[in-house]
């Protein structure tokens, strides 16, 4: 009996210099994808990904780079061992990779779309001192309560990424986040770490990006879903263009419920395969769904190992 596989895709923070190089050096398809996407948005992806630079961590470049490497991994896997997914799922930006893998958007269009998304997010935060903070060792409910109390006092701090039990990232105005560091620690947090970011993802500070992102998606997304996508916003599945447009716009200002999504679908699947650099989601899934194996494809060696494991 064939395994029920969820194909999953990482988001921002998974990037690193050198990612995708194994694919680029060993696959004509990978080189073609580098070239086509680079031409579309005017970026030399080989230079961006393989040479030391300060561009890769800028969100308008981070997002297309991560999506490109994820889609190369996915397409090479499908070329090596064609496999159907019962669902697709991504973490934040990774939901756009999931949309692409499902067939609802062409990979070149998807790279252009997330390049625009990154620009819109940066623009929304350019006139404010925005940031994000990782909270370790506190229950979600405690973080939520502390953020709600801060909101009532006029501070702009919100839960942004539910990654795993005891790991929640909050977003908002940097000064407000810094003022909350001692509050989180007094409540029992092991760490309250301000991240090296100049945007505040998945909170109301990005509301100005919603409509222009929706307009760009309208022209690029279609209704050809090979399998449903699990929404970061609702943890429920969708498989239509209209739902994708609505949910991916709202995703900008609503928290990523990654932990809850994995918990919601774990009973429906036998395995997850992560496509893209590193093994960020595989690490999270050890706690989110310890009984479901997660394999990862980030280079040619891991591609071979996953194909062998499935044969």
What CATH code is carried by the domain that includes residue 27? 3.40.366.10
Query: Does residue 191 sit in the same domain as residue 210?
Result: no
Q: Which of 148, 175, 199 is the last residue of a domain?
A: 199
The closest alpha carbon to 244, from 262, 211, 261, 221, belongs to: 221
Residue 130 lies in a domain: no
Among the options 22, 97, 202, 231, which is catalytic?
A: 202
Predicted confidence pLDDT, tens digits, the chain (311 residues): 588 999 999 998 778 789 999 999 999 999 999 999 999 999 999 999 999 998 888 999 999 999 999 999 999 999 999 999 999 999 999 999 999 999 999 999 999 999 999 999 999 999 999 999 999 999 999 999 999 999 999 999 999 999 999 999 999 999 999 999 999 999 999 999 999 888 999 999 999 999 999 999 999 999 999 999 999 999 999 999 999 999 999 999 999 999 999 999 999 999 999 999 988 999 999 999 999 999 999 999 999 999 999 98
Instruction: Identify the CATH number of the domain in which residue 163 sits.
Output: 3.30.70.250
Going by DSSP bridges, is the β-strand pair 229-230/237-238 parallel, antiparallel, or unpaired?
Answer: antiparallel
- State the pLDDT at residue 156: 98
Indicate whether 180 belongs to any domain: yes
- Catalytic position from the list 14, 70, 92, 231: 92
The reported pLDDT for the residue numbered 74 is 98
* Catalytic-residue membership of 91: no
Give the residue numbers spanning the domain of 156: 135-199
Q: Provide the pLDDT for residue 55.
A: 87
Taking the C-alpha atoms of 98, 99, 100 and 106 in order, what is their torsion angle to the nearest 10 degrees? Answer: -170
Please answer whether residues 270 and 292 qualify as being in contact, where contact means their C-beta atoms are separated by less than 8 angstroms. Answer: yes
Same domain, yes or no: 115 and 166: no
- pLDDT for 196: 83
Q: Is 202 a catalytic residue?
A: yes
pTM score: 0.96
199, 230, 252: which is the final residue of a domain?
A: 199
Give the Cα separation of 311 and 224 in Å (integer): 28
Are 47 and 185 contained in the same domain?
A: no
89: in domain = yes
DSSP for 45-109 reads HHHHHHS--SSTTSHHHHHHHHHHHHHHHHHHHHHHS----SEEEESTTHHHHHHHHTTSS-HHH
* 231 phi-psi bin (left φ>0, alpha ψ -120 to 50, beta other): beta
Q: How many domains does the chain have?
A: 2
Considering the domain architecture, whether residues 57 and 178 belong to the same structural domain is answered as no
Position 29 in a domain: yes
Per-residue pLDDT, 252: 98
Q: Rounded to an integer, what distance in angstroms lies between the CA atom of residue 70 and that of residue 89?
A: 12
Q: Where are the beta strands (DSSP E) in the chain?
A: 5-9, 87-90, 130-136, 157-164, 167-173, 191-194, 229-230, 237-238, 271-275, 293-297
Among 173, 199, 225, the domain-final residue is 199
Asked if residue 188 lies in contact with residue 137, where contact means CB atoms within 8 angstroms, the answer is yes
Pair 27, 146 in one domain = no
Q: Which DSSP category does 299 fall into?
A: S
Beta bridge partners of 168: 135, 162
Is residue 183 domain-shared with residue 273, that is, in the same domain? no
**Contact assessment for residue 140 and residue 162, using Cβ atoms and an 8 Å cutoff:** yes
pLDDT at res. 216: 96
- Same domain (yes/no): 173, 258: no
Query: Are residues 13 and 111 located together in one domain of the fold?
Result: yes
Cα separation, 279 vs 293, in Å, equals 13
């Amino acid at each position: 009996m064939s395994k029920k596989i969820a194909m999953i895709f990482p988001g921002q923070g998974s990037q690193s210099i050198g990612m995708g190089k194994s694919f680029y050096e060993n696959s004509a398809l990978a080189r073609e994808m580098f070239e086509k996407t680079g031409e579309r948005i005017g970026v030399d992806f080989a230079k961006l990904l393989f040479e030391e630079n300060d561009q890769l961590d800028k969100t308008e470049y981070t997002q297309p780079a991560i999506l490109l490497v994820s889609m190369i991994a996915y397409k090479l896997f499908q070329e090596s061992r064609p496999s159907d997914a019962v669902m697709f799922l991504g973490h934040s930006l990774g939901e756009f990779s999931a949309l692409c893998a499902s067939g609802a958007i062409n990979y070149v269009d998807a790279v252009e779309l997330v390049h625009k998304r990154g620009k819109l997010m940066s623009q929304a935060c350019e006139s404010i001192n925005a940031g994000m903070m990782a909270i370790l060792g506190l229950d979600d409910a405690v973080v939520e309560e502390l953020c709600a109390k801060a909101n009532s006092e006029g501070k702009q701090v919100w839960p942004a990424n539910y990654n795993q039990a005891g790991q929640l990232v909050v977003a908002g105005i940097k000064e407000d986040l810094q003022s909350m560091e001692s509050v989180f620690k007094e409540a029992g947090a092991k760490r309250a770490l301000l991240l090296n970011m100049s945007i505040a993802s998945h909170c109301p500070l990005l509301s100005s990006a919603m409509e222009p992102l929706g307009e760009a998606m309208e022209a690029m997304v279609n209704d050809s879903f090979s399998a449903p996508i699990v929404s970061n916003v609702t943890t429920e599945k969708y498989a239509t263009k209209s739902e994708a447009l609505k949910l991916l716009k709202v995703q900008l200002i609503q928290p990523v419920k990654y932990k809850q999504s994995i918990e919601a679908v774990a009973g429906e699947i036998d395995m997850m395969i992560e496509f893209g650099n590193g093994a960020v989601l595989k690490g999270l899934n050890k706690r989110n769904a310890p009984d479901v194996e997660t394999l990862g494809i980030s280079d040619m060696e891991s591609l071979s190992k996953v194909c062998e494991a499935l044969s």
